Chain A
Amino acid sequence: MLRFVLVRIASALPTLFLVSVTVFVLIRLMPGDPALIMLGDLADDRSLADLRAAMGLDEPLPAQFLIWLGNVAEGDFGRSISTNEPVFGLILARFAVSATIVLAAVALAAVVAVPAGMLAAWRQDGALDFAVVGGATLLLSVPSFWLGLLMLLLFGLKLGWLPVIGYVSPGQELERGLLYLVMPVATLVLTEVGVIARMARASTLEVLRLDYITHARAKGLSEGAVLWRHAFRNAFAPTWTLIGVILGNLLGGIAVVETVFTIPGLGRLLVDAIYARDYPVIQGCLLFIAALYVVINLVVDLCYPLFDPTVAA
């Protein structure tokens, strides 16, 4: 077991390294002086010269990369061109907002979608299956930013139940903060529930065909026991992997929902940085989100032995 954990963690390190190389190369593809790019057009000669020395721009490219990686490892992602704030602090503050929304949405979506998908598979081709598959395919096709806009129109403006613009952290004011979270979380739940339900259904269908399920039924177990005690553990593994992928995709693509509800999250930070050509922030966000995705996948893999003990063996 310990060996499995260590091997899996070790295998994530090369990926992390290659991801950081990609982000470094991507920003260096920009034509022009990297120091000028990092400080913006308004920088004076003195600070440009200082930064050139600090970035090691006289050194060969691999050395420059190592200097950058060393700084990143110490949490020094540079300073924002627009606000002159340290990039890492900016990212952490915004990440807290996005992570709250994404985690709440994915957890709620999974709690609804996994049982729905399993029940649909259990009664394949029945009315319930038809409803689940149809509903899931429909929800799968609705873009989150449009659904968010419609919710805003209905619950925010027409009915006036929920606040329309802005964000209050639930950490500061719990009740008001939660009100601001309802619509963004609901939007993401509705757009992700379809994907998860379809995956849960497909993997349950495959498992229900196996001999050990027939055996469990033959020895007289109730359908509930067959489904939950025997089918669930094996059928849940692919869905669990998918949940990791969804977490990453949402972190990479949450900017649209944050734009609809004017939420100061990580996605919005990245998009605003792209508008402003704030390259230190762009680079920091790309690296942070991609590295986080690698870590999420690692954690997902490390959880595998919980459903399938043979994985760790």
Chain B
Amino acid sequence: MTTTAVPFRLPRANALVGGLLVGILALAAIVGLLWTPYDPLAIDFRARLAPPGPAHWLGTDDFGRDVLSRLLAGAWTSASIGVVTTAAAVAVGTLVGILTGFLRGWVDRVVMAVNDTLLSFPGILFALGLLAVLGANKWGIILALSLAYVPTVVRVVRATVLSLRERDFVAASRICGNSALYTMARHVAPNCIAPLIILATVMFGWIILAESALSFLGLGVPPPAPTWGNMLAGSRPLIAQAPWLGIFPGLAIALTLLGINLLGDALRDRLDPRMAR
């Protein structure tokens, strides 16, 4: 074979850089919640559109609000929406996936028909439709995005459960006289954790991206509350005069997504036996 020497331990570098970037996001989110250099909502027309400098490290926007403070506050908004939405989608999806995968029969068929229908809506289209009904605000977004991502979780969990239930240790548990419910909770559910961790990590990234895209479209958390997406939207008309308004929020989203993607790759290398070399 012509494989050259490994120049660099890729999985370990992925975990390191990914973990570092996600750690920075977590730190920024907590700092953004507790303390920011300026009040992220404080309007100061004397400091309107100030370029990055010693007083305002990342400059100010058209209302004279400090960009760094707004980025930190936005980190909390993005991270908290991401965590709550992912947790909700994973919790509901896991429950439905395990139940349908284990019970089979007509429940399974009905649930999967609904599930596959929801999966046949592309990307964030279903979330857009839900937002049209729910209204655009923080809880509307959380509800819309978690509903939009539940079907994906159901799919993954059900597939895992279907392959697990044919395994000998599950049959053994039933033969020992354990109930279906006990077997499900004690032997099937724990084995779904590895694929769920991978999925939840990747999904956290999708949700951060979807939330910022919706905010960018003006369908997210309403202004003046800062989110990375609505900061980018606000920068669009001013991009020629004040490029920093567009550069920094986008950089924050991109670095966060990069961290999550790298972490997801590292986890997959670690936890998914199919990826073993």
Q: Which residues of A contact B (CB under 8 A)?
A: 15, 18-19, 21-23, 26-27, 29-30, 123-127, 130, 133, 137-138, 140-143, 145-147, 149-150, 152-153, 157, 245, 248-253, 255-256, 259-260, 270-271, 273-275, 277, 279, 282, 286, 289-290, 293-294, 297
Are B120's CB and A294's CB within 8 A?
A: yes
- CB neighbours of A250 from chain B (8 A): 123
Per-residue interface assignment for chain B, residues 99 to 141, with 1 indicating a CB less than 8 Å from any chain A CB and 0 otherwise: 0000000000000011011101111110011111100100000
Q: Which residues of the partner chain A approach B2 to less than 8 Å between Cβ atoms?
A: 123
Residue numbers in B under 8 Å from A23 (CB-CB): 129
* B133 & A146 in contact (Cβ 8 Å cutoff): no
Contacts of A141 in B (CB 8 A): 254-255, 257-258, 260-261
Note all chain B residues with C-beta closer than 8 A to A133: 10
Give which listed residue, A143, A149, A249, A274, contacts B123 with CB less than 8 A.
A249
> A145-B216, A259-B217 known; 20 other A-B pairs, CB under 8 Å?
A22-B121, A123-B4, A140-B257, A141-B257, A141-B258, A142-B254, A142-B257, A143-B250, A149-B239, A157-B239, A248-B122, A251-B122, A253-B123, A256-B216, A271-B128, A271-B217, A286-B121, A286-B125, A293-B120, A293-B122
Set of chain A residues within 8 Å of B246, measured between Cβ atoms: 146, 149-150, 153
- Contact A270 to B128, CB < 8 A, known contacts A138-B258, A146-B232: yes
Q: In the complex, what distance in Å separates the CA atom of A299 from the CA atom of B27?
A: 46
CB distance from B186 to the nearest CB of A (A): 34
Within the complex, what minimum Cβ distance (angstroms) separates A205 from chain B?
9
In the complex, the answer to whether B122 meets A143 with C-beta atoms within 8 Å is no
B residues lining the A interface (CB < 8 Å): 2-8, 10, 113-114, 116-118, 120-125, 128-133, 136, 209, 212-213, 216-219, 232-233, 235-236, 239-240, 243, 246-247, 249-251, 253-255, 257-258, 260-262, 265
A294 to B216 CA separation, bound complex (whole angstroms): 27
Could you list 27 A-B pairs, sorted by A, with CB under 8 Å?
A18-B117, A18-B120, A19-B121, A23-B129, A29-B133, A30-B133, A127-B4, A130-B8, A140-B261, A141-B254, A141-B257, A143-B253, A145-B232, A153-B239, A157-B239, A245-B122, A250-B123, A253-B124, A253-B125, A256-B216, A256-B217, A260-B236, A275-B218, A286-B125, A286-B129, A290-B122, A297-B120
Q: In the complex, what distance in Å separates the CA atom of A289 from the CA atom of B129?
A: 11
Measured between C-beta atoms, what is the minimum distance from A19 to chain B in Å? 6
Task: Provide the residues of chain A in CB contact with B212, threshold 8 Å.
Answer: 143
Closest chain-A Cβ to B219's Cβ sits at a distance in Å of 6
A283-B122 Cα distance, complex, nearest whole Å: 15
CA distance A29 to B131 in the complex (A): 12
C-alpha spacing A242/B241, complex, angstroms: 40
| Nearest Cβ on chain A to B239's Cβ, whole angstroms | 5
What is the bound-complex CA distance between A245 and B122, given in angstroms? 8
In the complex, chain A residues whose CB is within 8 Å of the CB of B7: 125-127, 130
Residue from B2, B217, B218, B246 having most chain A Cβ neighbours under 10 A: B217
**Bound-complex Cα distance A152 to B258 (A):** 23
Contact yes or no, A290 B213, CB < 8 A: no
For B256, the closest partner residue in chain A by CB is A141
Among candidates B217, B235, B236, B262, residue contacting A137 with C-beta atoms closer than 8 Å: B262
Residue of A nearest to B241 (CB): A157
- Give the CA-CA distance A26 to B148 in the complex, in Å: 13
Question: Looking across the interface, which residue of chain A has its beta carbon closest to that of B14?
Answer: A137
Which residue from chain A places its CB closest to the CB of B218 in the assembled complex? A275
Instruction: Name the 3 nearest CB pairs between A and B, nearest first.
Output: A146-B250, A248-B122, A252-B125
Q: Kindly provide the distance from the CB of B6 to the nearest chain A CB, expressed in whole angstroms.
A: 5
Least CB distance from A257 to B in Å reads 10
Query: What's the least CB distance linking B170 to chain A, in Å?
Result: 28
Q: Which residues of A contact B130 (CB under 8 A)?
A: 26
